[in-house]
Structure 1
Amino acid sequence: MTSASEYSKTAAILNSAFQAFATYGFRKTSMDDIAKGAGMSRPAVYLHYKNKEAIVRELTQFYYGEKTTLVAEALSGSGTLPQLLERAIQVQSQGMADILASPHGLEMLDATKSMSTDIIQEGEAELTRLYADWLRREDAAGRAHLPVGPDEAAKTITASLKGIKMTASSADEFEQSISQLATLLGAALEVR
């Protein structure tokens, strides 16, 4: 079991790494940069992570763990189908505009994709499962109009979110596209 002190050190390293990657880019960030930002020595950081790639993998794991929890909470709340979907999409997308606004945001996304493909696939599959289970419940309750099955609809939701993230040319475009997607999908799935 991880002690509170170890958890605090790990959190400090991850926060520092994220800030350093956003400021300097993945390639130019050194383990010294990460250690300084975490208030630790470089050897102390190496006791937790063997390299920057291991840190990126941990950041990716943390991201999907947090997003899965937030999406599950949003989908289990109260409200209309469009309101629940909009909340889920918003919490899943929260923070991405800041990454895209960073001068090194695209480099960060590329590094994450190349080093954490397995974690991304597992995380996306879990998010898709959450949306599919939610759509099944909404359909069974007569609150959803599903022109395709819940699994296919869920795949469309997560693929669309991923596509917007990869193609948005700015943070503003990302936020506008996410909002439009939530509105369109919510309207399409709502029983009239």
Structure 2
Amino acid sequence: MTDWLIELMETLGAPGAGLAIALENLFPPLPSEVILPLAGFTASQGEMNLLSVLAWTTAGSVVGALALYWVGALLGRERTLALAARLPLLKVSDVARTEAWFLKHGRKTVFFGRMIPIFRSLISVPAGVERMPLGVFTLLTTAGSLLWNTLFVLAGYFLGENWALVETYVGLGTNLVIGLVLLAVLVFAGVRLGELRKGRHAYRG
């Protein structure tokens, strides 16, 4: 992957870094924790302009986020509710509660969500489903992405040839997030299965 990114940046320059980040939003296995520090390191070697890297990677983040926003918008609230009704262990009321929470905290969620691994991409979909005003979504996404990108690009810029250390330490945080998500899913499934069993016993009784 690193070789591919280097070749992309050598061919396209800073726009290549922006393209990689746009793809990272759509395909999370492409980690920004690798792309951004590598772009910063490349800039430190004088092969790209640092400000151009920040501008293009932020633009790439916004483009990728907007693509997922429109996926959510096309899916829509009614389709989301219909899908929830068909999924095992999930209730329409679960979606309704999530919707109420997002309507109350959506702006903060979009802004800070751009700085959380995994959720960086996913947060755009519910924003589209709820039709958050496009201007507000774009502004919050741009601000959050600029902070995240600047942090990692500058880390790669100042670490130089040790830029890969960023991926090592951030990877620990990513694994923690994944672990917490899996734990939350298991707890949710356990609670919902317990409710179903109680309901069956009550029905039989």
Fold similarity call, TM over 0.5: no
State the TM-score bracket (shorter-chain normalisation).
0.3 to 0.5
TM-score by length of 2: 0.37
**Larger RCO (CA within 8 A; separation ≥ 6):** 2
TM-score by length of 1: 0.39
Q: Which structure carries more helix by proportion? A: 2
